[in-house]
Amino acid sequence: MNPAYTKSLNTLIEQFGKLPGIGPKTAERLAFYILKTDTAEALALAESISDLKKNIRQCKICCNLAESDICGICQDARRDKHIICVVEQPKDVISLEKTGLCKWVYHVLNGHIAPLEGIEPTDLTIDLLVKRIRAGGVSEVVMATNPNLDGDGTALYIQSLLSAMNVKVTRLARGLPSGSTIEFASGSILADAILGRNAL
Ligand SMILES: [Zn+2]
């Protein structure tokens, strides 16, 4: 709290300072930018934040981000619904989609199993995934959890759940460095991993 600033300015600086990667100096710079910018533009920013929080929800089928009950990918008739690609978070869907190679549908786990952090399988959307596969029509499940300890553990856990079911389980592996994340993998490495997925 800087006594030289007004209450509103201090509040905005404080809010910007909560954003990832924003230090106190940048927070101050952003707040002053908003102060100088015209009212319509500043309100458009405020409104887009409000709309995002009001409109975004979870797809009832795949748990990806959606603005209606079913997300755009699940609604897309051209998608191959026989293949479900399992990812940890919605950002991974975006990274994989950028390769332009994915004609499958997704399942977003909303995290990974991490017993030490108290994240159990029941905290994820694994139940819903199993239900989707039980409903039939799925021939392959592509595990695209991160190639690190937690991601590998989560993939193995899900594979063991699915082993009794008539479905092929594969894993994105080739070229993805161990310990890395899907989110930050380059497009060419992801493309290689998609095309070279192997049986788990
Ligand atoms: Zn969906």
Ion ligand 1 residues within 5 Å by Cβ: 59, 61-62, 64, 71, 74
DSSP for 78-128, written as a single string: TSEEEEEEEESSHHHHHHHHTTT---EEEEE-SS--BGGGTB-GGGTTHHH
- Rounded to whole angstroms, the Cα distance separating 72 from 57 reads 12
Please tell me the distance between residue 76's alpha carbon and the centre of ligand 1 in angstroms.
Answer: 9
Query: What is residue 174's predicted lDDT score, i.e. its pLDDT?
Result: 62
- H/E element holding 140? strand 140-143
Please tell me the distance between residue 170's alpha carbon and the centre of ligand 1 in angstroms.
Answer: 20
Asked if residues 194 and 143 have their Cβ atoms less than 8 Å apart, the reply is: no
Beta strands 168-171; 198-199: pairing state: antiparallel
Q: What are the residue ranges in the chain where pLDDT is below 50?
A: none
Please tell me the distance between residue 110's alpha carbon and the centre of ligand 1 in angstroms.
Answer: 13
Please tell me the distance between residue 164's alpha carbon and the centre of ligand 1 in angstroms.
Answer: 25
- Report the percent of the chain where pLDDT is more than 90: 78
Please tell me the distance between residue 145's alpha carbon and the centre of ligand 1 in angstroms.
Answer: 17
Query: What is residue 185's predicted lDDT score, i.e. its pLDDT?
Result: 83
Query: What is residue 127's predicted lDDT score, i.e. its pLDDT?
Result: 96
